[in-house]
Amino acid sequence: MSSSTPNNQYHNTNSTTNTLFSPSIDRFLICGLGSLGQHCVAALKKFGVVVNAIDLIQPQHWEVSDLFSQLNQLIIGDAREPSILTQGQVQQCRAILIVTSNERINLAIALAARLINPQIRLVVRSAKENLNQLLGQQLGNYVAFEPTELPAPAFAVAALDSEIIGFFYLEKYQIKIVKRKIKPDMPWYNRHVYQLNNRHRKVISYATNYTQLLSEFYDWDSDELIQANDRIIYIEKPDFLTTTSNQKKSQKNQFKLWERFHSILKIQPTDVKNLVINYWNWIHENPIRNLVFSSALILVIFLFSGTLLFLLYYPEATLREAFYGTAVLLLGGFGDIFGGIKLEQDFPWWLQLFSLIVTLVGIIFVALLNGLITERLLSTRFKFARKNPIPTQDHVVIIGLGRVGQRVASLLQGFKQKLVAISSTATESDITPQIPLVVGNIIKSLEKVNLTTAKGIIAVTNDEMLNLEVALMGYAVNPNIRLVIRTSEQRFSNNLAKLLPYSTFICTSAVVAEAFAGAAFGENILSLFRIDHQTVLVTEYNIEPGDTLNGLILAEIAYGYGVVTILYQKPPNESKLMPSDDIRLTVGDRLIVLATINGLKRIENGEIKQPTWQVMIESAPSEYAIFQGANEIIGISGCSINQARELMNNLPGILPKPLYKHQAQRLVRTLKKAFVKARLISV
């Protein structure tokens, strides 16, 4: 590490150094100290690491208080220059976060950093999805995020009045996060919390009417009885309900099909008469249907008449030849049959005249059919081209149709939510033809979108003052409207949230920075969402030798580190959603968890909470109970076979291995099913 000067003093190399650290401590380098870069510094400092930064100019505004003093070194210069990167100690850094607003510059910095340090992890701000994938394959240890896209689900669900507070896609599943307030008439009322967990659902937070929701994952009692006004947050895979529903629907349709077939076998003459009358009335209800039916009827009459005449006049002709000959005439083929100067066969004049009439009828019918098809295509085109009508009630108004607005609109469409967007400029994208769009002055355009009956406003322009102004105007018109406001500074958001508790303020830079920080440690951040003003990261771990998770059972990971395990896979086997807590991780396993930034920090630093509960085994009535009880102890607690057998053969006794509360409660419940009497003891 280069020598340093007293705090906050500049070197002649345009760098500022605050503190000296041991070379063994992780170092991280951030390029670009805009809003996102500053929040990345704050997120990384939660891990207790050394952070250096590079920017072209000295930041004039610090969005995070006391952030400058948290930097170990600030270098003023162009990060594309190898000499500047070297001053930032890139060769000693574990990862570099490149978050300037210019994607071309970001890529240039990434390439320069990789040349200096082939092992460094590259975390880049970029929206070029295909290019990022190719760079990841070529450079390795490379990850890129688009800051405007990551928080879009948080904006979308905040405007809905449903119980869904978050969602993300995991392989082939759509995972939903649901927040529910219990009422006495609900099936979950007066049940134990643990009874809600199954293969498709897992409770991640529970609070009584008097406690705060989601201070920490699992900071609640799984044996608690659910009462009225209690609040529960859980994750679920809802498509299993859809699959079951589809199976039932398919069976129901098959049954209906059999009923129809069976009814056809028993059809009566009166039924045929009624069916014909109904179709006849249906045809005559519409002039176009009537015209098509009449023309088709005339065409069929001429087809069969011509076929019959050819067969009568030429007995040697086959039915197929007579039929196809008449069809050729109907399709305008008079010249193909009678166009020669000298006919090979002697056709009577009346048959030639009839053939000409058949050809004319066929031409008229084809022209009529073409006209109807053209008219229908044009009307359909005009229908799509026609401006979508603005909803009159229960709609969400999106202010600003940039990248964030377009992504939010697309997500809300997936929820079948009625939308209308307001943009200051015309925007060409895949989403604009599908929703009503008002283009012009945003403030004046508010009068056109029926705010008095709207469900919510999502203000996501780049101007946070405009977002706030629009939201307050909407609230003045409709006090029941839900307000979701995009901001660029966390302090501003926090202060506004205190003054305007009926609004939701989301600072995109602060939310996304936690994903960048998590990715800097080598984790794969798949998605994120917000729960009660906390950012929850969907994080993937691939277990390697020396990992803090290696050798632990999932219960120890979940309760010790405070994360929610949602998917486990031992490649090449199929992944397991909502896996059992009894699985022990080994090298090569894949695990996906829900974690706050504090949870990621604990995993990174190996700061696992110590278990504080023990299980007292009091009695077992039979040899079977002793044998089965030992098996349950081995599976749930993770202790050795010898410990479990020795304990069960010398009852009463205390399980020597301490457990986490949820883990211990589950063991007691499971032992009870095996007729083993046990209870919890607090260490």
Rounded average pLDDT over 516-544: 87
| From 65-74, 110-119, 304-313, 581-590, the region with the lowest mean pLDDT | 304-313
Confidence band, pLDDT 50/70/90 cuts, at residue 248 = very low
The predicted pLDDT at position 597 comes to 87
Evaluated on CA atoms 596, 598, 600, 603, the torsion sign reads negative
Confidence band, pLDDT 50/70/90 cuts, at residue 332 = low
Confidence band, pLDDT 50/70/90 cuts, at residue 91 = very high
Q: Is the pLDDT of residue 303 over 80?
A: no
594 or 18, which is more confident: 594
Confidence band, pLDDT 50/70/90 cuts, at residue 556 = very high
| From 45-59, 302-316, 595-609, the region with the lowest mean pLDDT | 302-316
Distance, in Å, from the CA atom of 135 to the CA atom of 14, rounded to the nearest integer, reads 31
> Residues with Cβ < 8 Å from 71, sequence gap 6 or more?
16, 18, 41, 51, 52, 53
350 or 237, which is more confident: 237
Q: Dig out the tokens for 314 from the structure.
A: 């030429």
The predicted pLDDT at position 385 comes to 44
Distance, in Å, from the CA atom of 3 to the CA atom of 5, rounded to the nearest integer, reads 7
3-state secondary structure of 553: strand
The predicted pLDDT at position 245 comes to 39
Q: What is the mean pLDDT of the chain?
A: 81
> Edge-to-edge, what's the strand order for the sheet holding 396-399?
437-439, 419-423, 396-399, 456-459, 482-487, 503-507
Distance, in Å, from the CA atom of 308 to the CA atom of 318, rounded to the nearest integer, reads 11
Q: Which domains does the chain have, with CATH numbers?
A: 27-146 (3.40.50.720), 161-236 (3.30.70.1450), 274-383 (1.10.287), 395-487 (3.40.50.720), 533-605 (3.30.70.1450), 613-682 (3.30.1390.10)
CB–CB of 52/29 below 8 Å? yes
The predicted pLDDT at position 274 comes to 65
CA distance to 314, 402, 482, per residue, from 149 (Å): 76, 11, 22
The pLDDT tens digits of the residues spanning 24-51 come to 358 999 999 998 999 999 999 888 899 9
The pLDDT tens digits of the residues spanning 459-471 come to 999 898 999 999 9
Q: Is the pLDDT of residue 341 over 70?
A: no
Closest C-alpha among 491, 614, 630 to residue 42: 491
At CB < 8 A and 24+ separation, what contacts does 586-590 make?
586/543, 586/550, 586/551, 587/543, 587/544, 587/545, 587/550, 588/542, 588/543, 589/542, 589/543, 590/540, 590/541, 590/542, 590/543
Q: Is the pLDDT of residue 381 over 60?
A: no
> What is the amino acid identity at position 53?
A
DSSP state of 94: S
> Bridge-partner residues for 176, per DSSP?
167, 236
CB–CB of 541/565 below 8 Å? no
Rounded average pLDDT over 564-578: 91
Closest C-alpha among 83, 114, 87 to residue 98: 114
Distance, in Å, from the CA atom of 480 to the CA atom of 143, rounded to the nearest integer, reads 42
Q: Is the pLDDT of residue 664 over 70?
A: yes
| From 223-237, 279-293, 522-536, the region with the lowest mean pLDDT | 279-293
Q: Tell me what percent of the residues of the chain surpass a pLDDT of 90.
A: 41
Q: Is the pLDDT of residue 180 over 80?
A: yes
The predicted pLDDT at position 211 comes to 58
Rounded average pLDDT over 126-145: 87
The predicted pLDDT at position 345 comes to 52
* Angle formed at CA 291 by CA 288 and CA 296, multiple of 5 degrees: 125
pTM of the predicted model as reported, rounded to 2 decimal places? 0.69
The predicted pLDDT at position 32 comes to 94
Q: Is the pLDDT of residue 10 over 60?
A: no
Confidence band, pLDDT 50/70/90 cuts, at residue 152 = confident
The predicted pLDDT at position 247 comes to 40
The predicted pLDDT at position 87 comes to 94
| From 232-241, 335-344, 387-396, the region with the lowest mean pLDDT | 335-344
The predicted pLDDT at position 427 comes to 74
Q: Is the pLDDT of residue 63 over 70?
A: yes
3-state secondary structure of 206: strand
The predicted pLDDT at position 129 comes to 83
Closest C-alpha among 23, 51, 38 to residue 521: 51
The predicted pLDDT at position 298 comes to 76
Q: Tell me what percent of the residues of the chain surpass a pLDDT of 70.
A: 79
| From 76-85, 434-443, 486-495, 581-590, the region with the lowest mean pLDDT | 486-495
The pLDDT tens digits of the residues spanning 619-650 come to 999 999 999 999 999 999 989 999 999 999 99
The predicted pLDDT at position 270 comes to 61
Rounded average pLDDT over 574-581: 90
